[in-house]
Amino acid sequence: MSTDNLPLLIEPDILEESLGYDNLLIVDLSKPDNYRKLHVPGAVHLDYAQIVAMRKPVMGLLPDDDTLEKQFSALGIDTDTHVVAYDDEGGGRAARLLWTLETAGHERFSLLNGGLHAWANEGHRYDNTVVTPVAKSFVVQHRDTPIARSDYIREHLGDSTCCLLDVRSPDEYLGVKKYAERAGHIPGAVNMEWTQAIDAGRNLRFKPDTELTALLDSVGATPDKQVICYCQTHHRSAHTYLVLKQLGYPDIKGYPGSWSDWGNDPSLPVE
C-alpha cells in the first residue's frame, strides 16, 4: 500500500485507514506526558527542541544541515518516507517540523488536521506504548525557497508585491506586549493572529478554505503576492505557513527567528 496519494492536510479517518501503509512515519510532537498517555498507533515522539536552534536572545532558528541530517535519520526518515505530523496544541509544533522538512528538500508530508484533539475526541484507536524509531539515512537537499531571513525582508520593505503577515497577538503587533529588546512590528506588516485560522468547534482543525481565504483577503494577504509569515520565533507562523500551503498560495516563506531576531537587532527598522 502506497502513501503517494496522501493529502497535505489529512483527516483522522484517512490516517486511520492508512496506518499499515509502507514508508509511513507518524511523528507526535505533543508534550511527553501526553504521548505516554495516548498517541496514534505507531507514532514516534519528537521533542520540539530538537528541530529548532537558538542564539540567545534569538530563538526558533533553523538548525544547520548536519544537525538536521542526524535528527531526521535517527527519527526514521529517508527519501521515500511520508511523514504525518501532529501535536496537542493546535498544530504549531507539527507545522514547524513540516516546514523544516521542506527547507531540507523533503516534501512527502502531511499535517493531521486537528492533531491529537481530533484523533482522541473522535474515537480513533490509540496506543500508549513508547515506539522506538528505526533509523534510516536522511540527506539534506537544502532549499532556501521556504525561508525569508532579515536581510531578505529588509530588501523587500515597501514592495507592493510582498505581504508581511504578522500572526502574533494584536498586543504583540502593536507593541503593547514586548518580548524582545524592541516592541512593535516589521514596517508594513499586517496582522492576523494565527488562532483565527483554527476552528475550535471542530477539534482545532483548519477552518474551511472559503473562511480562510476571506480572512487572509481581509488583511491583504492575497495569492498574487509573496506572503512572508512570522511570529515571535516562527512557531505559530509555521502553522500559518501550512494554512497558506494548503490553500495553494504559490509564493510563501517563513522567517526563522522571527521577532526574536528582528526585534533584537537595532540596525533594523520597527513600526
Confidence of residue 104 (pLDDT cuts 50, 70, 90): very high
How does pLDDT run across 138-194, given as a tens digit for each residue? 999 999 999 999 999 999 999 999 999 999 999 999 999 999 999 999 999 999 999
- Would you tell me which CATH number, out of the four given (3.20.20.140, 3.40.250.10, 3.40.50.2000, 3.30.60.50), belongs to the domain 150-262? 3.40.250.10
Enumerate residues 6+ apart whose C-beta is below 8 A from 146. Answer: 99, 102, 103, 241, 252, 253, 254
Enumerate residues 6+ apart whose C-beta is below 8 A from 45. Answer: 27, 28, 29, 30, 32, 35, 39, 130, 131
Amino acid at 61: L
How does pLDDT run across 236-270, given as a tens digit for each residue? 999 999 999 999 999 999 999 999 999 999 999 99
**How buried is 132 (Cβ within 10 angstroms: 0-12 exposed, 13-18 middle, 19+ buried)?**
exposed
CA distances from 189 to 82, 160, 174, 260, 265 (A): 34, 11, 11, 16, 17
Of 162, 163, 229, 231, which one is the catalytic site residue? 231
C-alpha span between 116 and 112 (Å, rounded): 8
Confidence of residue 3 (pLDDT cuts 50, 70, 90): confident
Residue 99 has pLDDT above 80, yes or no: yes
Three cell numbers, residue 108 = 512527502
Confidence of residue 224 (pLDDT cuts 50, 70, 90): very high
At which residue does the C-alpha cell 523533503 appear? Answer: 106
Query: Taking the complete model, does pTM exceed 0.95, yes or no?
Result: yes
At which residue does the C-alpha cell 537558538 appear? Answer: 54
150-262 and 9-121 share a CATH fold? yes
Q: What are phi and psi of 81, to 5 degrees?
A: -75, 130
Confidence of residue 2 (pLDDT cuts 50, 70, 90): confident
C-alpha span between 42 and 45 (Å, rounded): 10
Share the mean pLDDT of the chain.
Answer: 97
3-state helix, strand, coil in the chain (%, to 5): 35, 15, 50
Mean pLDDT of 86-92: 97
For domain 9-121, give the CATH number: 3.40.250.10
Question: Using an 8 Å Cβ cutoff, are 253 and 226 in contact?
Answer: yes
Residue % of the chain over a pLDDT of 70: 100
Query: What pLDDT sits at residue 162?
Result: 98
Domain ranges of the chain: 9-121, 150-262
Query: What pLDDT sits at residue 222?
Result: 98
Residue 1 has pLDDT above 70, yes or no: no
163 belongs to the catalytic site: no
Mean pLDDT of 91-95: 98
